[in-house]
Structure 1
Amino acid sequence: MSGASGGEANQADAVKVRVGTFLFMAIFLFFWISIDPFVDLTGEAVLDPSAGNSNRLNQIISLLLFAGMLGYGLAHPMRDTILHPRPLLAILFSWFLFVSLISAHPTLGIKGVILAVMVTVNASVYLLLPASERHFAKMLGIGTLIMLGVAYYGIVFKPTLAIHQASELREPMNAGLWRGHFPHKNSAASAMVLAAFFGLFVMNTWSRVAGLAIFVLSFLFLVKTGGKTSTAMLPAILIVAWLFEKMRPLRAPIAIGGVGLFNLFAVGSAVFRPLGEFISGLGIDATFTNRADIWRFAFSALAERPLTGYGFRAFWQTEELVYSGGSVETWAVAAANGHNSFLDIALTTGFPGLLLTLTWLIFLPLRDISRIPADREQAPLTRLFVRIWLYTIFHAGLETLFFEGGSLIWFTFVFALYGLNLQSTAVLAEDAVPTKRKRVAHA
């Protein structure tokens, strides 16, 4: 009887691993490649504010993957990690919903909140899917290699769709810069930075050859995108993450002070003329690639509604803004977003929404990192999550990343948040059959 029950247990474990592997790869490829790669940017649709809305197939696949992830998570012994920390997230998403309901576009906000919750659930279950740290590294490595293969396939065989063209309507000045299967060179650059982090992790956990290949291919593609900020941030974040790991007293100043100063120099230079002149005097582009006009416009709009904002996802690219005639005063009314995650959250959900967001995305991870045991602080997995976290919170000063439902950067960032929490509270499962423990994290 014991032999039979043991066999059934092994069979059940094998099925669980196969299901976990399928869901892991499906989610990874869905975010990193999408069901509609190689978008044509020469059509007039790219100028339409409603362009980019999810198509029906994308919605169906999103719902199926969400149902699969939620079902897997609820059946897992660590189901309590789903949507953790629940009290904070309940308040945060309730506030987002409230400011949306009183906005001019409640439907946009409601859809945005639902999608944000779905992505958060997916990310909170994601690290429960692998059977071990090595299994996690193997799947991450294979998925990243597939993504890189698709990106380079586009460069070789679909150059008009994988390399920016002069015939593009929105930004013809990007002609010649690589974007692969991504919609823009900047999103491709950000993806390649994260892929480089994956390569370093894979190199130390699963395969040196695969990890090195991922890192080299990612770095080469990153350079070809022409994304100066992301290219500079890759080595910068590796250095900052090393300092962050080695010097505990500097952790809060780096994460809080560093991000604050970065945003002050960036956005502040657009709003405060003396600061802008000082930045220019240092030989730095004080407009931050023409973002200054957008930030000045966003600040003037925020000043009118500092408490509740304009509603979640209900400001940029709305028809009344794009077609308001304000383009006579500033082209910023036609901007796709605010190019600053912190400013955009304040603009759409008010300062209370910004405070809740900062608590979840910066303060709590700092607390989790401070609780990681000393023997796990320098683990490859911890380094991976810290690098992803630091890159995203700094890069958020120049791009809109937070709560972007279909964004691979946002999804990767959120599962890194859960990874830091698991590293601080859980015991890693080894490749061997784990013994009974109070709390086991597969990745």
Structure 2
Amino acid sequence: MSQFAVTSDFRAVADGLRGQQVIDLMRAGAFIGALLLAWISMRPFIDLSDMLLTDVQMGNEVWTYAAFGGFAVLTVALAMRDGARGFATLLSAAYLALGAWIAVMVVMSIEPGTSARRLVLALSVAAVAASLMLLPKSQTELRNWLAVAILTLLAVCYLGILLVPNLSIHLATDPQEPALAGAWRGVFGHKNMAAGMMAMLLFLGIYVMRAGSWLAGAIAVGLTLLFLINTEGKSALALCLGVLVLTSLAAMIRSFWFRAVVLLMPLVLLNMIGIGSVVSETLAAISKALPLDASFTGRTDIWTFGLEVARLKLWTGYGFSAFWGSSAVRNLPQGMEWAATAAHSHNGYLDIALALGLPGLALLIAAFVVGPLRDFQAADEGCNNGPLAQALLQVWLFGLYLSSLESFFFDRADPMWFTMLVAMFGLHYLARFRLAE
């Protein structure tokens, strides 16, 4: 072989290595960037002094659409290089049936344009979430990328508390909820969202620590726990501790049905003593006897209203993401005028019934409640049940429980919804593939 041929081969190999390094950097950047986009949003540190709660929820949607659309193209393209088989498994009966019903509900919506526009963003968010867990080639990459994203978000939140506390902490001068004064919210628009996110990050921080990055994981766990406590999010903190206990117990159970009872019975009970208390005097009495606010911080009023209007369109709903803020919430009876400014019903399952009717709620339960639990069971039986599966189970289960008191299913770019989606897709992949060590 000539010297020229050897040199050419060497250059080809070198060029190939440089090209692979660029791809690897792009994978890491896309993973971390997508998480930070969803977690920090395009509009962090919102000034609540002259805003309605609906304004906080909406955010800057034009840039959000553009950013998630761009990340959807990038992450899908990168994941398709090695993860085409993973994408193919998403064509399951549960996902396809739910997607088909949502498409029908967009057409039948009371505001088809609004539903169609919001579906575009929801699909972009879902595409990014489905791609993320296919980007890392090893658990080491996943652990390191997660650590960078979590610590970056925490750094931004704590810098906000130190440098711009008026934009990071609820104030007594906030016109909407002055009673929340002193509660930390960081980059988020409300302390409830901050609390929910910190609980989810706590689970992921524990995974980072258990996966071998002890220092980064311990820092993440400590900072998220401190922030969670200062949000004064009692529900999120209680549910977080409950999830840690229940998932530890579930790890020792092998029967799928026994595991389902242990993990899902609390979800049923939460909805019974919560939204069930406005339709049953017996459940209301039980709720009042418990050591908690029987009005669930005013949620019972909005649940009563939501159930009343849900009965009017029980089978079809009002359309995908189309009810709140629409013409259906006008001409309200005396005493319920506040509903015109509500962003959601503070119960994800009720909001799905309002949007997609009872068939949509049943399909959501099949895809997002039963499906991930079956995936965890399959991963466990396939000896793919390590710290990653445990962390994803915790994030998903916490999202299910919190949805009894908050509403973020299909809520466009909501950070808790996005994180829960990533966990559900991650469990789906772990049931079918093994991530290299």
TM-score, with structure 2 as normaliser: 0.92
Judge conservation of contact 1:302–1:347 (CA < 8 Å) in 2.
yes
Paired residue for 1:407? 414
Q: Residue 180 of structure 1: which of 156, 178, 186 is its match?
A: 186
Judge conservation of contact 2:384–2:431 (CA < 8 Å) in 1.
no
1:356 aligned to 2:353? no
Q: Residue 392 of structure 2: which of 385, 392, 395 is its match?
A: 385
Paired residue for 2:115? 109
1:10 Cα offset (Å): 4.0
TM-score, with structure 1 as normaliser: 0.91
1:331 Cα offset (Å): 3.4
Paired residue for 1:216? 222
1:337 aligned to 2:344? yes
1:171 Cα offset (Å): 0.9
One-letter identity of the residue aligned with 2:302? I
Judge conservation of contact 1:99–1:311 (CA < 8 Å) in 2.
yes
**Counterparts in 2 of 1:119 and 1:79: CA distance versus 1, 3 Å:** farther
**Counterparts in 2 of 1:55 and 1:123: CA distance versus 1, 3 Å:** closer
Aligned residues: 428
Q: Distance in 2 between matches of 1:33 and 1:117?
A: 19
Q: Residue 37 of structure 2: which of 30, 33, 39 is its match?
A: 30
1:59 Cα offset (Å): 2.6
1:71 aligned to 2:77? yes
1:392 Cα offset (Å): 0.8
1:311 aligned to 2:332? no
Judge conservation of contact 1:82–1:125 (CA < 8 Å) in 2.
no
Q: Distance in 1 between matches of 2:218 and 2:59?
A: 37
> What do you get for the CA RMSD once the two structures are aligned?
2.2
Paired residue for 1:161? 167
Q: Distance in 1 between matches of 2:154 and 2:336?
A: 42
Q: Distance in 2 between matches of 1:373 and 1:87?
A: 22
Q: Distance in 2 between matches of 1:82 and 1:111?
A: 26
Paired residue for 1:269? 277
Structure 1 gaps of 5+ residues are 431-443
One-letter identity of the residue aligned with 2:303? W
Deviation by residue 1:311-339 (Cα, 9 ceiling, x = unmatched): 11111122551x42435346344322011
Q: Distance in 1 between matches of 2:22 and 2:53?
A: 47
Correspondences of 1:226-375 after superposition (within 5 Å): 226-249=232-255, 250-318=258-326, 321=329, 323-326=330-333, 328-329=335-336, 331-374=338-381
Residues 100-109 or 225-234, more deviating: 100-109
Q: Distance in 2 between matches of 1:411 and 1:340?
A: 17
- The percent of aligned pairs where both chains have the same amino acid is 31
One-letter identity of the residue aligned with 1:428? L
Q: Distance in 2 between matches of 1:128 and 1:114?
A: 22
Q: Distance in 1 between matches of 2:178 and 2:360?
A: 36
Judge conservation of contact 2:184–2:227 (CA < 8 Å) in 1.
yes
Structure 2 gaps of 5+ residues are 1-5
1:263 Cα offset (Å): 1.0
1:255 Cα offset (Å): 3.5
1:22 Cα offset (Å): 1.0
1:157 Cα offset (Å): 0.7
Judge conservation of contact 1:270–1:286 (CA < 8 Å) in 2.
no
Q: Residue 126 of structure 2: which of 120, 135, 140 is its match?
A: 120
Judge conservation of contact 1:73–1:82 (CA < 8 Å) in 2.
no
1:307 Cα offset (Å): 0.3
1:194 aligned to 2:189? no
**Counterparts in 2 of 1:254 and 1:377: CA distance versus 1, 3 Å:** farther
3-state DSSP class of the match of 2:187?
coil
Q: Residue 14 of structure 1: which of 13, 18, 21 is its match?
A: 21
1:363 Cα offset (Å): 1.2
